């Protein structure tokens, strides 16, 4: 007889374990279990059959893989959690005895520190794996970098997130790895390409953030703790790969004055090595004369090395490989047919991105968002950026009237007045700055709105600045990651490029018909009242046409069996007689005389009728083809046809709306 299987020892009951059982097996508290699972990347699982997976009578809602929990039994962090719990009991005991100093000493010096280095190496065995998982890390760290400090979010965590994010931005600026950006309601989306991996993250706007109580910041703080370690590893690897020292020098005083990106100083390994050698030699020297002489020689060597490094960088930037010089720009994909889908174009290279704004000097007005504009401009080659002193320290210039400025980013109404005599303003450094009053412009300078920078970055080229002038209606700012397919409405293209043949004529005809219907409603009421009066006056007398007249109309209406030209002549004569008859009737009844349709309107009506006939023939052909299909293929084809018709109707509505707006704009102009 075969051995019988006991319940709960095989199948789903063995593969899954509840959260309560996992906490008891690991012998830790529930908050520590949550932290450990977040660090190790272990998440709850949903079994196929909850009744079979649950070993208890009560309904359990959270399950984990038994192998994942078995894997956590050998985690070194379990011992750290147990030591922290033991120390917490000692601190509580000291506070209960009113030994405050002992409690502070234990919390400051005896608390075991948790390191997550080994977990980062376990979860990301290769550097490419870390880059692929960097989207969520950057989004969360940039979010915490913009939060205000509270008891749930300490100031140290915010400062650490800000520093790591700025270090990552400096790498993107140095390597020109940033590719696209988009302004949305949620925030600013960025996309960078690092070692062939596309990384996208979201940065919130710098508004006043409200800390709500319905968010568990302990869980988010656990993710932030792990992501800070991960981003530190990634930044170190990225900096060392391009020959920079990590971490870069950070000026705390400059950061407190609002320098942000300018508070960091990047150094190469050669210059840093020379500086360290200088410091070591200065420590070992004891003679004052020899110390001064050695320091000067070392300083000369350091300056020489720095100059050589700059010259090498300049030569590398100036030199163009023969293959690249022969090939020119990146090839673009052109659709083979006008009805074909728009293929995604290749992104910019680092050299092209580094020269987009390299020849310009920008000045950021105080109402414009400084940090995102500065980051974009520096990432795409701009070296000289100035801004108002109110926005912080670290600008190329704070003087708005500096003649070197070529472009100024403003977000104000239209500026039309020339600059009057400027006034000086005292600054803390006893420097007089030229102040420009609002509403005045400086001749010889280009004024643009901030959207011009984003659109130039997404298009990969410099766009027309007159479309982004202060006070101008801006072009549509669309997502650079969504490309319109054939049949969809494209706000970037003109109506003539995307509307079908004759759609504008049909829309105009519908508008005219609506206008005629609305205008003729009042006339119909007057006609009815007039006809009633005539009927009362006529009494029983017959006011209809006589039999002779009707016979004449029948004779005139017969076109005979002549040629086509005779038929067209007869039809035109009939139209003229009918128009003349309508004018006589309208004059007799006191109504306005109807205007005859012009030849252009007749041609449009004829074209519309021809298109409707062709459309009806096409629909009939499709119906005949559907009759030859199987049921499965016919249903699939109907679904496709329904989605295509829905897409076409939506695009037609948007085009009609745009056509009306353009027409209204032309009438106002």
Distance of CA 189 to the CA centre of its chain: 4
For domain 350-482, the CATH class is alpha beta
Please give the average per-residue pLDDT across 148-168, as a whole number.
Answer: 94
pLDDT of residue 340: 53
pLDDT of residue 561: 45
pLDDT of residue 12: 78
Q: Which residue has the tokens 């472009």?
A: 407
Look at residue 134 and give its three-state secondary structure.
Answer: helix
- pLDDT above 60 (res 167): yes
Q: Which residue has the tokens 């100035």?
A: 386
- Cis-peptide, bond into residue 664, ω within 30° of zero: no
Residue 60 — φ and ψ, nearest 5°?
-95, 145
How far is the first Cα of the chain from the last one, in angstroms, to the nearest whole number? 97
What is the tens place of the pLDDT at every residue in 193-223? Answer: 999 999 999 999 998 888 888 888 999 999 9
Burial level of 81, CB count in 10 A (0-12/13-18/19+)?
buried
Return the percentage of the chain with pLDDT > 70, whole number.
Answer: 69
DSSP 55-74: -SSSPP--EEEHHHHHHHTT
Q: In 420-502, which ranges are continuous DSSP H helix?
A: 451-459, 495-498
Name the band, by pLDDT with cuts 50, 70 and 90, for residue 302: low
CB 352, CB 395: distance < 8 Å = no
pLDDT of residue 553: 44
Q: HSE of 387 in the Cβ direction (CA atoms, 13 Å)? A: 24
Q: Which residue has the tokens 């020379």?
A: 274
pLDDT of residue 272: 55
Nearest Cα to Cα of residue 491 among 503, 482, 500, 501: 482
Question: Which pTM was predicted?
Answer: 0.71
Please give the average per-residue pLDDT across 394-414, as a whole number.
Answer: 91
What is the tens place of the pLDDT at every residue in 348-389? Answer: 666 778 889 999 999 999 999 999 999 999 999 999 999 999
Which residues lie closer than 8 Å to 627 by C-beta, 6 or more apart?
Answer: none
Name the band, by pLDDT with cuts 50, 70 and 90, for residue 317: very low
- pLDDT above 90 (res 447): yes
Q: Which DSSP state fits 35?
A: H
Name the band, by pLDDT with cuts 50, 70 and 90, for residue 664: confident
What is the tens place of the pLDDT at every residue in 18-72? Answer: 999 999 999 999 999 999 999 999 999 988 888 778 766 566 688 999 999 999 9
Which residues lie closer than 8 Å to 119 by C-beta, 6 or more apart?
Answer: 39, 40, 77, 226, 229
CB 250, CB 264: distance < 8 Å = yes
pLDDT of residue 418: 61
pLDDT of residue 189: 97
Name the band, by pLDDT with cuts 50, 70 and 90, for residue 594: low
- Residue 180 CA to residue 182 CA, distance in Å, equals 7
- Residue 508 CA to residue 512 CA, distance in Å, equals 6
Name the band, by pLDDT with cuts 50, 70 and 90, for residue 230: very high
What is the tens place of the pLDDT at every residue in 318-358? Answer: 444 444 334 444 555 555 555 555 555 556 666 778 889 99
In this structure, are strands 197-203 and 249-250 parallel, antiparallel, or unpaired? unpaired
**Which range, 142-156, 203-217, 260-274, has the best average confidence (pLDDT)?**
142-156
pLDDT of residue 545: 45
- pLDDT above 70 (res 122): yes
- pLDDT above 90 (res 599): no
Q: Which helix (H) or strand (E) holds 373?
A: helix 370-379
């Amino acid at each position: 007889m075969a051995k019988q299987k006991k319940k709960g020892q095989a199948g789903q009951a063995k593969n899954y374990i509840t959260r309560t059982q996992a906490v008891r097996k690991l012998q830790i508290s529930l908050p520590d279990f949550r932290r450990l699972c977040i660090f190790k990347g272990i998440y709850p699982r949903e079994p196929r059959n909850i009744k079979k997976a649950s070993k208890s009578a009560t309904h359990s809602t959270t399950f984990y893989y038994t192998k994942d929990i078995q894997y956590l039994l050998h985690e070194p962090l379990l011992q750290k959690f147990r030591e922290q719990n033991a120390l917490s009991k000692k601190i509580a005991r000291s506070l209960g005895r009113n030994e405050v100093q002992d409690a502070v000493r234990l919390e400051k010096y005896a608390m075991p520190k948790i390191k997550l280095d080994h977990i980062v190496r376990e979860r990301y065995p290769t550097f490419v794996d870390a880059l692929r998982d960097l989207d969520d890390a950057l989004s969360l760290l940039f979010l915490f970098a913009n939060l205000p400090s509270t008891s749930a979010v300490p100031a140290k965590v915010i400062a650490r997130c800000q520093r790591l994010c700025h270090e990552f931005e400096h790498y993107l600026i140095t390597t020109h790895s940033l590719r696209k950006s988009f302004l949305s309601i949620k925030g600013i989306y960025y996309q960078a390409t690092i070692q062939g991996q596309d990384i996208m993250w979201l940065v919130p706007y710098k508004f006043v953030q409200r800390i709500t109580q319905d968010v568990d910041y302990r869980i988010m703080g656990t993710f932030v703790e792990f992501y800070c370690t991960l981003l530190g590893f990634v930044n170190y690897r990225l900096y060392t790969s391009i020959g920079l020292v990590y971490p870069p020098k950070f000026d705390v005083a400059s950061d407190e004055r609002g320098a942000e990106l300018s508070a960091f100083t990047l150094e190469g390994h050669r210059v840093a090595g020379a500086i360290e050698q200088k410091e070591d030699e200065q420590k070992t020297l004891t003679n004052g004369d020899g110390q001064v002489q050695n320091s000067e020689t070392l300083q000369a060597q350091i300056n020489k090395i720095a100059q050589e490094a700059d010259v090498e960088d300049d030569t590398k930037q100036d030199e163009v490989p023969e293959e690249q010089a022969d090939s020119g720009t990146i090839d673009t994909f052109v659709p083979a047919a006008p009805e074909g889908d728009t293929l995604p174009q290749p992104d910019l290279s680092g050299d092209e991105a580094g020269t987009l704004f390299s020849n310009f000097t920008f000045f950021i007005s105080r109402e414009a968002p400084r940090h995102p504009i500065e980051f974009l401009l520096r990432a795409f080659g701009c070296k000289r950026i100035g801004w108002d002193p109110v926005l912080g320290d670290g600008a190329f210039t704070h003087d708005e009237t500096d003649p070197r400025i070529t472009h100024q980013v403003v977000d104000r109404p239209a500026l039309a007045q020339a600059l009057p005599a400027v006034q000086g303003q005292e600054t803390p450094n006893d420097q007089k700055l030229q102040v420009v009053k609002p509403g005045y412009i400086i001749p010889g300078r280009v004024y643009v709105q901030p959207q011009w920078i984003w659109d130039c970055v997404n298009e990969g080229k410099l766009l027309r600045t007159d479309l982004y002038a202060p006070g101008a209606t801006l072009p549509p700012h669309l997502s650079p990651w969504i490309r319109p397919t054939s049949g969809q409405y494209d706000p970037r293209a003109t109506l003539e490029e995307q509307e079908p043949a004759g759609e504008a004529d049909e829309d105009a005809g519908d508008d005219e018909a609506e206008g005629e219907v609305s205008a003729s409603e009042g006339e119909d009421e007057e006609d009815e009242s007039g006809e009633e009066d005539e009927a009362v006056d006529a009494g029983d007398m017959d006011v209809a046409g006589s039999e002779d007249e009707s016979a004449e109309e029948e004779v005139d209406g017969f076109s005979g069996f002549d040629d086509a030209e005779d038929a067209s002549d007869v039809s035109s004569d009939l139209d003229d007689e009918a128009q003349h008859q309508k004018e006589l009737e309208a004059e007799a009844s006191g109504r306005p005389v109807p205007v005859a349709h012009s030849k252009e309107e007749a041609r449009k009506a004829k074209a519309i009728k021809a298109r409707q006939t062709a459309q009806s023939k096409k629909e009939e052909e499709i119906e005949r083809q559907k009759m030859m299909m199987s049921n499965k293929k016919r249903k699939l084809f109907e679904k496709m046809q329904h989605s295509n018709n829905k897409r076409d109707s939506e695009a037609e509505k948007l085009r009609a709306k745009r056509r009306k707006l353009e027409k209204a704009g032309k009438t106002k102009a």
